[in-house]
Structure 1
Amino acid sequence: MKPIYESIIPYSNISFKVESYNAESCCMSAGWHIHPEYEIVYVKNGSGILRIGDKTHYYKNGVLVFLAGNIPHSDFGNKQYENSQEVVIQFSKEFVDEKLNLFPELGCIKKLIQTSKHVLIFHDSVKSYLSNSFEHFSDLSNQGKLINLLSILNYLSTTNDFHKLIHFGLPKEFREKETFRLKNIFEYINNNYNHKIEIKDIAIKVGLTPNSFSRFFKKMTNRTFIDFLNEFRIRKAVDSLNERDMTISEVMFLSGFSSPSYFSKQFIKYQGTTPSNYVKKAKLL
């Protein structure tokens, strides 16, 4: 089965993405999917199955796995216990090339990242040693999260206590042309989300007719383009509400919406509350 292309939407004020989930707020299932970002997943406890590429791995007491981008996989976590916890860290090739590569001292970390193309499953002793670092990510500032990530990568780069799930290359699940086209679409959205975006305009940018573009986007992401665009804009609106001293109307226009009623409807859809209630709750924190 061909995997769905998952778009990783980063927050505007941090150069990588980290999310923590528990038994009640579990990670929304993406099914069999693929994305270009590197991914580190820590599962605290419980048993489950890792399905990565054409390999299957069973775990009994949680798992710590590191895989490179563009490797198809299914969801990793489980809800077996009340204190279940899953931490997912994702970072792009640009994060490695434009940031980590600036520091020659990080040679071991860069070697580890290269090795992740084999999908690294670390021994329980490594998972146990790093458990506190993973489980307290959500308590840290953005600066603290970056330092914590580098500390985790540093430790992982110094241990041989892992096994490689994949020893040879995987067959390419996507044609390079499709992947390149989808990347251009996401870049266009990121650069123009605060302006009016019409399907016919972005279709021309990637060499498709509007109808072909809509079919292509749905095939690759299992979502309509409008649904994806609205969620992306709401994520940017949330970032602005959290970081800037702006009115809701200013945030609405800045994130690409022009209708207050439509903005509120989409905000409720993706955040579960109205913009005004979100602001009120944020001020109480």
Structure 2
Amino acid sequence: MCIEIRREITPLKESDCFLIIDRKQNAFNYPVHFHPEFEINFIINGTGSKRIVGDHISEVGEMELVMVGPNLYHGWENGNMNLDSKYRQITIQFSRDLFTNSYLCKKDVKPIKELLNNSCRGISFSTETINKVHHKIIKLTKLEGFEAFLLFQSFLYDIANSANQSFLTNLSFNHENDFYNSERIEKAYKYIVSNFHKKLRLEETAESISMSAITFSRLIKQRTGKSFVDFVNEIRLGYATRHLIESNKTVSEIGYICGFNNLSNFNRIFKKRQGCTPTEFRKDFESVKATA
């Protein structure tokens, strides 16, 4: 099934530094969508609801804090949530041009630059982080003007420096990603993206960026925490999940065009990373309705 997920027009005005929306409702009533703004969502009492960010689907706990970058699919559904009690969702949206490149290049705000780059994959923050920063989010709903903007920057800095951040999407799912702020990793990524449908060897990829295989393998591990094979497979899975969501191609066709040598291998690697088979993943998205 080909699923249409349309662009949302946000109420953020050109003159706004950021927009904050505070909702208290019994049920989520907006489906998966995307927009060019950054978005941060803090949810209280959403236990059992379903969160969808890019190609990641997960059940929500009592509290959660998630950030998504520009044009990354995201949305929440009721799932197994108790509809007799209200949940609270505080949403913060801000545009890409709020912070200039010259500002983000300053040493003191480097963590915020990395946060914005990483948000293109979707970021889930730990319970420990939520407990440390949730009072600032709530306070933001009561402030206006420059005082609110100062607190907003302080909040961004706090979550940028927080531990145990989790990336939600596969590599390459969102093509706007700025990978790892490393020129050589970026070159390797571009080489793999151009050749992921073929059999890729470590030696050939290393040669494409003028490095030895041993040095390149060590660099990949240091910068990504993954082996070369896992790095390549996650890039392939990013493209595979997009095809499963956006096209009518069969699972076998998708596995083949994304560089997996057979259906069994595709199913095994996909289930290990996503927690379900490609067919099950596609069925999970069939209930997603597009915004008008």
TM-score, normalised via structure 2 length: 0.53
Query: Aligned letter for 1:149?
Result: F
Secondary structure in structure 2 of the residue aligned to 1:139: coil
Report matched runs for 1:9-88 at 5 Å. Answer: 9-11=11-13, 14-23=16-25, 29-47=29-47, 48-75=49-76, 80=83, 82=85, 84-88=87-91
Secondary structure in structure 2 of the residue aligned to 1:126: helix
d(CA) in 2 for partners of 1:81 and 1:100?
46
The answer for unaligned runs of 5 or more in structure 1 is: 174-219, 223-285
d(CA) in 2 for partners of 1:12 and 1:159?
30
Q: Are 2:140 and 1:134 equivalent residues in the alignment?
A: no
Query: Aligned letter for 2:33?
Result: H
Residues 59-116 of structure 1, C-alpha deviations (whole Å, 9 max, x = no match): 2212100111111122368775756321101111111337853755211111111111
Q: Contact between 1:39 and 1:68, CA under 8 Å: does it hold in 2?
A: yes
Among candidates 7, 10, 13, match of residue 8 of structure 1: 10
Q: Contact between 2:126 and 2:163, CA under 8 Å: does it hold in 1?
A: no
| Counterpart in the other structure of 1:109 | 112
| Counterpart in the other structure of 1:189 | none
Secondary structure in structure 2 of the residue aligned to 1:166: coil
d(CA) in 2 for partners of 1:167 and 1:221?
24
Residues 35-71 of structure 1, C-alpha deviations (whole Å, 9 max, x = no match): 0111110002231111122210112212100111111
Q: Contact between 2:120 and 2:174, CA under 8 Å: does it hold in 1?
A: no
Among candidates 148, 151, 173, match of residue 151 of structure 2: 148
Q: Cα distance 1:98–1:80, how it changes in 2: closer, same or farther (>3 A)?
A: farther
Q: Cα offset for 1:118? A: 1.7
Secondary structure in structure 2 of the residue aligned to 1:110: helix
Higher helix proportion: 1
Q: Cα distance 1:161–1:36, how it changes in 2: closer, same or farther (>3 A)?
A: same
| Counterpart in the other structure of 2:268 | none
Secondary structure in structure 1 of the residue aligned to 2:141: helix
Q: What CA RMSD, in Å, does the superposition of the two structures yield over aligned residues?
A: 2.8
| Counterpart in the other structure of 1:89 | 92
Q: Cα distance 1:161–1:171, how it changes in 2: closer, same or farther (>3 A)?
A: closer
Q: Cα distance 1:101–1:43, how it changes in 2: closer, same or farther (>3 A)?
A: same
| Counterpart in the other structure of 2:279 | none
| Counterpart in the other structure of 2:173 | 170
Query: Aligned letter for 1:9?
Result: P
Q: Cα distance 1:90–1:124, how it changes in 2: closer, same or farther (>3 A)?
A: same
d(CA) in 2 for partners of 1:153 and 1:104?
15
Q: Cα offset for 1:129? A: 1.4
Q: Cα offset for 1:155? A: 0.7
Q: Contact between 2:38 and 2:96, CA under 8 Å: does it hold in 1?
A: yes
| Counterpart in the other structure of 2:287 | none
Q: Contact between 2:65 and 2:130, CA under 8 Å: does it hold in 1?
A: yes
Q: Contact between 2:55 and 2:170, CA under 8 Å: does it hold in 1?
A: no
d(CA) in 1 for partners of 2:71 and 2:14?
23
Query: Percentage identity across aligned positions?
Result: 17
Report matched runs for 1:197-212 at 5 Å. Answer: none
Secondary structure in structure 2 of the residue aligned to 1:34: coil
The answer for unaligned runs of 5 or more in structure 2 is: 176-241, 243-289
Q: Contact between 1:7 and 1:221, CA under 8 Å: does it hold in 2?
A: no
Q: Cα distance 1:30–1:23, how it changes in 2: closer, same or farther (>3 A)?
A: closer
Query: Aligned letter for 1:41?
Result: N
| Counterpart in the other structure of 1:161 | 164
d(CA) in 2 for partners of 1:171 and 1:132?
31
Residues 199-224 of structure 1, C-alpha deviations (whole Å, 9 max, x = no match): xxxxxxxxxxxxxxxxxxxxx972xx
Q: Which has the higher contact order (CA 8 A, sep 6+)?
A: 2
